[in-house]
Amino acid sequence: MARAGAVIENVVIGDRVVFRRTTAETGGALLEFDMFVRAGAPGPPEHIHPQSEERFQVLRGTLRARVAGTERTVAAGESLTVAAGTLHTWWNVGTEEVAVRVQLTPAGRMETFLETIYALAGAGRTNRKGIPHFLQLAVFALFFLSSRGERVPMKLRVVLAMRISFAIVALACLLARTASGQSPAHPSASVSPVGTWRGTSVCLVRPSACNDEIVVYRITPMKTADSVSVDALKIVRGEEQDMGVLSCSLVARGGQLACAIPHGTWRFLARNDSLTGESWLQDNTRFREVRAVRAP
C-alpha cells in the first residue's frame, strides 16, 4: 500500500512516480500522483481504465497523447481528461523531462498496478518496453479486470488481447490436467506444488479488514514426505513483504495441500502450472481466494 510522498521508479522505461494522494487516504475515491518521464520515453501501450476517469495536467515539458485514435499535444499549463473506458496512450514528445500530475477518479486498482509493474521492471521481468512477460500478463488480466460489477467493452482490442492471453493459459492448464489424468503411470510428476508461485489473493468477505493482494508463494519440501512449507509474501510498495510461513500437509496425491492457521484453514490445489487456494474460517466462511501461476 502506497503512502503520500512515496517514490517508485521504472528503471526500464525511465518513469518516476511520486504519490500525492493514495487510494487508502481517499477511501478509493481518488488516486493522485506526479509522474516524471525522461525525453524520448515511449510511454505505455494503448489501454483503458474501465471505470475510472483519468486527468493529466502537464506541469513541465510537452506531452503527446492519443485518445480514441485522435492525437493531440498537451503543453505545460494545459490539461487532458480521458473518460472511463476510452482507449488511450501518451508519451514524452519533447527534448526534456516532462512532469505530469495524474488523477484517477475513482482510484480503482491503479496504485497496486503501478507498484507491481515497476517492481517487475526492477527485477528484470519485463521486456525493453516495460511490458511484463506472458505469465505475468495472465495474472494481471485475472486481477485487474476482475472488479465486481465492471463491464469492459469487448470490442476494445487491448482488453480482448489480455483476456485471450489469460484464456490461453487457462486452456493450457486444462489440457495438461486432462493429459495427466489419462497417464496414471506418473500421476504426481506434473502436479508437485513445490516451487515459486505468483498471483492474486482476493478478499471474499466485504466489508472487512482484508485487502486484495498480489502474492508470492514459495513452497519447499520438509523432512517428512507428506509435508511442505509455504513461505507467503505480498507485494507492498513494489517490494516483497513477508506474511509468514505455513506448515502444510499433502492430504492426497495430486498436489492438494491443507494448512492449519489460528482461525481456520488454507486449502491449495496445484495442477501443472496453476495453483488455486481458499481460506476458510472456523465458522465455514470462505474468506479468501488465491489464483496463481508457476513462476518461470
SS3 content of the chain, % helix, strand, coil (to 5): 15, 45, 40
How far apart CA 228 and CA 220 sit, in angstroms, is 6
The model's pTM is 0.52
Written as tens digits, the pLDDT of the chain (296 aa) is 678 888 998 877 778 999 999 999 999 999 999 999 988 887 887 888 888 999 999 999 999 999 998 999 999 999 999 999 899 999 998 889 999 999 999 998 889 888 888 887 777 777 776 676 655 555 555 555 544 434 344 444 444 444 444 444 444 445 444 444 444 434 434 478 899 998 888 888 877 777 778 889 999 998 887 899 999 998 876 678 899 999 999 875 567 899 999 889 999 998 878 889 999 999 989 999 898 888 86
- Other CB atoms closer than 10 Å to residue 292's CB: what's the count? 25
CA of 51: how far to CAs of 1, 37, 82, in Å? Answer: 21, 25, 11
| Whole-number pLDDT of residue 181 | 47
Question: What are the grid coordinates assigned to 150, written together?
Answer: 465492471
Say if residue 188 is exposed, middle or buried (CB neighbours under 10 Å; 0-12, 13-18, 19+).
exposed
Cα four-point dihedral sign 7, 10, 16, 17: negative
| Whole-number pLDDT of residue 273 | 80
Which domains, ranges and CATH numbers included, belong to the chain? 7-109 (2.60.120.10), 195-294 (2.40.128.120)
How far apart CA 32 and CA 292 sit, in angstroms, is 30
- Are 257 and 251 spatial neighbours (Cβ–Cβ below 8 Å)? yes
| Whole-number pLDDT of residue 73 | 95
- Are 258 and 252 spatial neighbours (Cβ–Cβ below 8 Å)? no
How far apart CA 181 and CA 31 sit, in angstroms, is 47
| Whole-number pLDDT of residue 186 | 42
